[in-house]
Structure 1
């Protein structure tokens, strides 16, 4: 019996070794199997696995090329740490995202920098605002790839879609800690480029370099002005909006509290300026509607937003943007919360929605689709107050 048991044990070990040998052969030689396995691996781990061997490196590269859909991380509520609640979410979430961010658009509430509502502000109450902002930029740079373009905007209120798969219903936050980061990977047929101008840097040359002029592939401009109340800011912004208003591009955005330091070596502290993203490429489509002050009931808001639905923009790999006045939200709808975000979700249940409550809105009714543009305004009709600009941007 002992001899028989020994033979059985030897046979079991031999069988196990044979299985491991076959598995090792498959994983070292069958690209189809390796590539299929790597599709289930987050990008950060994927880069580590790419160093195993040449086969795995080639498989990893092919998997990376398939990950061209937008993703996002968002958070709300009070943080238990000395930093904004969004940072903890990003630190954990970036470990498991299935893309490599090339451009990041990040927005956070203004209370974290000017009020005492966030927990992390209590321990920093005596620190100046600019020092806090520099800390934020440094923190973000450590979290994101070094080659990633970052645009960070501070606003009075936030509109976001939760990043948890179970509850992706957009929410409006007019107070309290909230923020999101939109993660754009490299995408075929799509070129996303950040820009920043102040009164010292705006010229025909810099406009062309940023892709805002002499760019036939330009389809969408997300544009955010800051310190807009200062003398000369309106005239400065018109210099940028006039040529854009005459072009066949979708323009959406508004006036925000501030932007985090972004190539500010040309600007004096506290000066006005504008920042944003250009989205160029033949695959991009977009549409926007302007909800004016008269749109003040859920029924009228839905009627207006159905014009956005009628544009027939593809909803896959598409993101919604909502740029609203701080006077809207529940204050505008007889104390009913989340009216506009709920209607958007009703009409576009598979499209995430992001944006802010700001100090003025930029946009109009416009469709940019395939080889034509439908616009109902000119450059003089792009700036508004007490309105909401609701937009769709399809990335192909």
Structure 2
């Protein structure tokens, strides 16, 4: 008697795996503690999940956020609910962009305290201090993330954020933050290397490629750098020298994007030493060209109409975009936005959204932009095409009154 696949009865293991596929990551973690047979199923489920998440806070950015409550308990409730119900992959990195106004405001916790009695030696000012607790963005967020998740936060005048419903906003003045959660990928597909560069770092003319890799997050010598995202708190000589060395070793084969921000915070969750002074921070992205495709366009100051923006953004479009796992980075000048488009809000991010409706977008409004056009299709480019590609010069990457869009696409 022959048996068809339709006659096979699924095992308990098969049923459990099918159920686990429909659970958010926190529920999968909880299930792993139920019994020994569920532990390997939970581990396998987490290993095969590679979802990129994005969220904004406050959740509703369609109106002014200046009157929102920034009580710590409200933020805790929102983040905890999102992670429990919406997070499908364990994040290894949280890229956080925050407006300067929200960073100054922080999150406030008003804890209850027993009243002061006539025998108490506490003064009124001491009582008030114990009742009020203030946490910055990183401190408020870190309590909700797994220990292995690193946090890179930038503070700038304005930010570009995407809600969990894939609506993007350019917040130029109000209080707002956006978070991009990136999971851990197989190293040959996508590698993420956060880095910090101390303010007094000397970059010599004789620096080797190996030394540069070590400086930029400890990238292994045999793995080519594909993209570098820079955040500077000022255009110091060492930051310029670092880009010069990068272009020396990767004259045509690297995408560079970034901007000058007001403040940087990086927490690798492992270094418990007293933090040093850093004014350059960022991410190095690596990956096999068969899996990782990076495209980037520069909107110069003369591109100042919706139609011109749309036409330029079309250069990012390719056949594989709809088949890939992708995210976008936008770096705009503080002088762009509403001021350029006659008071109209969200022009550039909405044009990106119209072309890429499902791709998360995050970014900053900086005091100087770093980037260039980079449209080489690595999956198809021949050595001849690469050799004929114009080399990038240091003057090609520093701009004002511009916007740079970078689209990072992964084919799993």
- TM norm. shorter chain > 0.5: yes
Q: 2:400 aligns with which of 370, 382, 385?
A: 385
SS at match of 1:366: coil
Residue 316 (structure 2) pairs with residue 308 (structure 1)? yes
**CA 347–277 in structure 1, closer or farther in 2 if over 3 Å, else same:** same
Query: Residues 9-62 of structure 1: CA distance to partner in whole angstroms, max 9, x if unpaired?
Result: xxxxxxxxxxxxxxxxx99x6211000011111111211211222321121122
**Counterpart for residue 249 of structure 1:** 254
| Deviation of 1:139 (Å) | 2.4
**Counterpart for residue 19 of structure 1:** none
Query: Residues 338-392 of structure 1: CA distance to partner in whole angstroms, max 9, x if unpaired?
Result: 1111111121122121111111111000135237465673222111110000110
Cα distance in 2, alignment partners of residues 195 and 338 from structure 1: 31
Query: Residues 246-299 of structure 1: CA distance to partner in whole angstroms, max 9, x if unpaired?
Result: 41111111111101254795634xxx6211111112122111110011011111
**Counterpart for residue 225 of structure 1:** 232
**Counterpart for residue 267 of structure 1:** 276
Residue 340 (structure 2) pairs with residue 332 (structure 1)? yes
| Deviation of 1:216 (Å) | 3.3
SS at match of 1:94: helix
State whether residues 260 and 367 of structure 2, in contact with CA within 8 Å, keep that contact through their aligned partners in structure 1: yes
State TM-score, norm by structure 2: 0.76
Cα distance in 1, alignment partners of residues 73 and 242 from structure 2: 33
Residue 220 (structure 2) pairs with residue 207 (structure 1)? no
Cα distance in 2, alignment partners of residues 173 and 327 from structure 1: 13
Point out where structure 1 has 5 or more consecutive residues left out of the alignment.
1-25
Cα distance in 2, alignment partners of residues 71 and 308 from structure 1: 21
**Counterpart for residue 90 of structure 2:** 100
**Greater share of residues in helix:** 1
Point out where structure 2 has 5 or more consecutive residues left out of the alignment.
1-8, 59-64, 112-127
Cα distance in 1, alignment partners of residues 394 and 218 from structure 2: 18
**CA 327–112 in structure 1, closer or farther in 2 if over 3 Å, else same:** same
SS at match of 2:236: helix
Q: In terms of mean alpha carbon deviation, does 193-202 or 252-261 score higher?
A: 193-202
State whether residues 85 and 177 of structure 1, in contact with CA within 8 Å, keep that contact through their aligned partners in structure 2: no
**Counterpart for residue 160 of structure 1:** 161
| Deviation of 1:137 (Å) | 3.0
State whether residues 73 and 162 of structure 1, in contact with CA within 8 Å, keep that contact through their aligned partners in structure 2: yes
RMSD: 3.1
**Counterpart for residue 116 of structure 2:** none
State whether residues 211 and 278 of structure 1, in contact with CA within 8 Å, keep that contact through their aligned partners in structure 2: no
Cα distance in 2, alignment partners of residues 310 and 357 from structure 1: 27
